Amino acid sequence: MTDKRAKNEIIKEQSRQLRGTLAEGLLQVETGNIAEDDHQLIKFHGSYIQDDRDVRGERGKKKLEKAFSFMIRLRIPGGLMTAKQWLALDTIASTYANGTLRLTTRETFQYHGVIKSNLKRTMQAINAACLDTLAACGDVNRNVMTAANPHLSKVHKQAYDLGKAISDHLLPRTGAYHEIWLDGEKVEDQSRDANKGEEPLYGVHYLPRKFKTVVAVPPDNDVDIFAHDLGYIAIVEKGELIGWNVTIGGGMGMTHGDLNTFPRTADHLGYCKPEQAINVAEKVLTVQRDWGNRENRARARLKYTIEDRGLDAYRTEVEKRLGYKLGKPKPFVFSGTGDPLGWRQSIDGKKGEDKPWHLTLFIENGRIKDRPGMALRTALREIAELGISEFVATSNQNVIIANVTAKSKAKIEAILKSHGVSLDISSRLRANSMACVALPTCGLALAESERFLPELITALEDGLDKAGLRDDDIVIRMTGCPNGCARPYISEIGLVGRNPGLYNLYLGAAFDGSRLSKLYAQDVGKDKIVQLLQPIFLAYAKGRKSGERFGDFTIRAGYVKATAAGNKFHADIKLA
């Protein structure tokens, strides 16, 4: 009988635990590319081979191969970095990458434009900063996101500790990473043991697909708990963490025109005690490892395993492997998914003591670079040089300058000001915006995203003014393709690229990230998008109930139907 498994399954199987021919490929000087199968394997090491799509048209004529370079994604559980690490990362950006740091939607960084001859030394420089990239991509548990800023409260610290522990516990154990990038030397990070070559948890096939874990602390849902394979919601009584609600089966990715693929909000699996949390993560992951679809990668995420096997069956199997039952989920309340921008002081801490301060900076689409008039990268570098703060990458592509004393606030503000970095954002719509990378680096992009959303928002802001909504929180997110890297399907306004200049417009998601949106208009360009949203802004400004969110209003006012569950995402669509 023929092997029906997806190609990647065989590649993994034959890769000698992710080694493939990566080492050999790095030595091939005539090409900036690597072997076809290694394209898949290098992801597990935290890197992607890409090419500059802006120049594709000219390369062949110039007798040049595609403009290949590598994207490198770091693994930074909870997004927490020391000032020293920030400086190291900043230096790498200009030494080996394209001079920018790219905060992602999952609390870490990406470099773009690292060419093959610099790949190894970049990895070593990252390692020298006591950070790594292992499992930042690939069919494994990815970088774990936790409620932004461990310094905010005791519970936030506990959430961070859990995320870090899970990230380490579920990390691949292969020695390939050290062999290929670090010449076998050991990382200053106890989480890994280079001698243990093979994978007790993952085996030779790893997972059927990527696996994403997050930890939230209500009332903030900044990590978008419902968008991930596995989630933990802190349950707190009188300021003390008593346990976690566990969610599974969230995910965004889908394929245009394939109704069997759809975004899905996570379900509640149950409730567990703090000391059980790591074990629960392991069991949820191993069930997906054993049950997940290994024939069709488009249906291989945990969300589809639940669609196919049912939530109860999944829970039963997890409990069987745990050897005990999970509790009933406890009540909690989420207020929203955004980052509270500006200065914020730690919540708890002893009376009278000078509680630390934290400045959340809005970084448009996460791109940290120096522009004429706004030297953002330099500003952050100078702040890091002071050595008086830590840094936290958030799940909204923003950065927090964390843990500074009241006295230092002025110093930091002065540096930002001197480099043209302002703390006030043109509108709350922009403050609540995210766009994925897309062109020119993303090989899957069908349309612009990061390079287009800012100007679209500027165009929308006139409409906001007419409706007097400049200061109202409305969440807008854009991606260049249906994979949903900026989580557009749980955004009150979602724009998903289909063709150059054309997007699908989704409305009706819940402000707190608990409900998916619904397709409202197809293949609309900039002007049409503005035309369509303008009247809805006006109607909302006039007709909203007190406290009613934009997403809820668009449903009540009948622009779109509510999407009750992922498998209803493509149902009862009525295009404008």
Is 143 a binding residue for ligand SF4 by CB under 6 A? The answer is no
Site for another protein in 407-436 (CB under 8 A): none
485 labelled catalytic: yes
Is 464 a binding residue for ligand SF4 by CB under 6 A? The answer is no
Q: What are the tokens at 499?
A: 């063709």
Q: Which residue has the tokens 């030297």?
A: 375
Please report the sign of the dihedral spanned by the C-alpha atoms of residue 494, residue 496, residue 501, residue 507: negative
Catalytic choice (12, 106, 210, 518): 210
How far is CA 565 from its chain centroid?
Answer: 22
123, 217, 436, 476: residue in contact with ligand SRM (rule CB under 6 A): 436
Site for ligand SRM in 294-353 (CB under 6 A): 301
62 labelled catalytic: no
From residue 446 to residue 465, what is the string marking binding to ligand FMN with x (rule CB under 6 A)?
A: x-------------------
Query: Count residues contacting another protein (CB under 8 A)?
Result: 37
Which among ligand FMN, ligand SRM, another protein, none contacts residue 73 (Cβ within 5 to 8 A by kind)? ligand SRM
Which among ligand SF4, ligand SRM, another protein, none contacts residue 253 (Cβ within 5 to 8 A by kind)? ligand SRM
272 labelled catalytic: no
Is 453 a binding residue for ligand SRM by CB under 6 A? The answer is no
Catalytic choice (272, 381, 442, 518): 442
Query: Count residues contacting ligand SRM (CB under 6 A)?
Result: 31
Which of the stretches 87-95, 117-125, 349-357, 434-442 binds ligand SF4 when contact is defined by CB under 6 A? Answer: 434-442
212 labelled catalytic: yes
b/e for 465-487, b at 16 or more Cβ within 10 A? eebebeebebbbbbbbbbbbbbb
Write the CA distances from 136 to 98, 172, 183, integer angstroms: 20, 11, 20
Q: Tell me whether the omega of the peptide bond preceding residue 172 falls within 30 degrees of 0, making it cis.
A: no
Name residue 304's amino acid.
Y
210 labelled catalytic: yes
Strands of the sheet with 493-499, listed across from one edge: 433-435, 476-479, 493-499, 502-507, 518-524
Which of the stretches 94-102, 163-171, 294-302, 432-440 binds ligand SF4 when contact is defined by CB under 6 A? Answer: 432-440
Three-state DSSP class for 467?
Answer: helix
- In the bound state with ligand SRM, the residue whose beta carbon lies nearer, of 20 and 79, is 79
Q: What are the tokens at 297?
A: 């990668």
Which of the stretches 117-125, 142-150, 378-386, 475-483 binds ligand SF4 when contact is defined by CB under 6 A? Answer: 475-483
498 labelled catalytic: no
Question: C-beta of 19: minimal distance to another protein in Å?
Answer: 23
Short-list 32, 34, 7, 31, CA closest to 20:
34
Measure the CA angle with vertex 306, ends 301 and 307; round to 5°: 95
Using a 10 angstrom Cβ sphere, with 0-12 exposed, 13-18 middle and 19 or more buried, the burial of residue 27 is exposed
Is 478 a binding residue for ligand SF4 by CB under 6 A? The answer is no
Question: C-beta of 111: minimal distance to ligand SF4 in Å?
Answer: 15
Question: C-beta of 442: minimal distance to ligand FMN in Å?
Answer: 9
- In the bound state with ligand FMN, the residue whose beta carbon lies nearer, of 35 and 541, is 35
Which of the stretches 157-165, 189-197, 209-217, 430-438 binds ligand SF4 when contact is defined by CB under 6 A? Answer: 430-438
Write the CA distances from 114 to 25, 49, 166, integer angstroms: 15, 9, 30
Three-state DSSP class for 11?
Answer: helix
Short-list 180, 178, 174, CA closest to 204:
174
85, 108, 133, 247: residue in contact with ligand SRM (rule CB under 6 A): 108
Per the DSSP assignment, residues forming a β-bridge with 48 are 71
Question: C-beta of 102: minimal distance to ligand SRM in Å?
Answer: 7
Question: C-beta of 490: minimal distance to ligand SF4 in Å?
Answer: 14
H or E element: which one contains 478?
strand 476-479
Short-list 260, 231, 308, 228, CA closest to 484:
228
Nearest-10 Cα torsion for 341, 142, 191, 393: -10
Taking the C-alpha atoms of residue 561 and residue 557, their distance in angstroms, rounded to an integer, is: 10
128, 444, 564, 573: residue in contact with ligand FMN (rule CB under 6 A): 444
Taking the C-alpha atoms of residue 446 and residue 59, their distance in angstroms, rounded to an integer, is: 20
Measure the CA angle with vertex 443, ends 298 and 20; round to 5°: 75
Which among ligand FMN, ligand SRM, another protein, none contacts residue 212 (Cβ within 5 to 8 A by kind)? ligand SRM
Site for another protein in 61-80 (CB under 8 A): 61-69
442 labelled catalytic: yes
Is 444 a binding residue for ligand SRM by CB under 6 A? The answer is yes
Chain positions contacting ligand FMN, by CB under 6 A: 444, 446
Chain positions contacting ligand SRM, by CB under 6 A: 48, 50, 71, 73, 104-106, 108, 110, 142-143, 210, 212, 227, 251-253, 301, 366, 397, 436-437, 441-444, 483-487
**Residues tagged active-site:** 73, 142, 210, 212, 436, 442, 481, 485
